[in-house]
Amino acid sequence: MAKIAIIGGRDSILGFTSMGIEIFPVQNEQEALRESTRLVKEEKDVYAIIFITDDLAAGIDKQLEALKKEITLLPAIVIIPSHKGSLGLATQKIRKMVEKALGADILSK
């Protein structure tokens, strides 16, 4: 059975344990990249979704995109806000995907 994981600062992710999500606390972007790479490559077919807080994902965006290209189906790597609030990274990514799919930015204000 596939599981859900979350990578981020301890304060941002600790509450997710109550929902049965496995937490992987990290202290910086490089640890977040190392942990996400390990979960994708070494824990293959274990996790269906890997959440990463946007405060850590912002600095390793290019590496995460490269990692996503190696994934055929699962796990999905999803960026979520941390306890500090959103940096808007996930919104930017969704906007780019919609614009690429439709040929126009329909999500602009």
pLDDT at 109: 63
pLDDT at residue 87, as a whole number: 66
pLDDT of 36: 95
The token pair that represents 82 in the structure block: 């941390």
Domains in the chain, please, with CATH? 3-84 (3.40.50.10580)
Closest listed residue to residue 47, CA positions, set 107, 97, 16, 4: 4
Per-residue pLDDT tens digits for 58-109 = 899 899 999 988 888 888 888 888 877 666 776 676 677 667 666 777 666 6
| Predicted confidence (pLDDT) per residue in 21-55, tens digit | 999 999 999 999 999 999 999 887 789 999 999 99
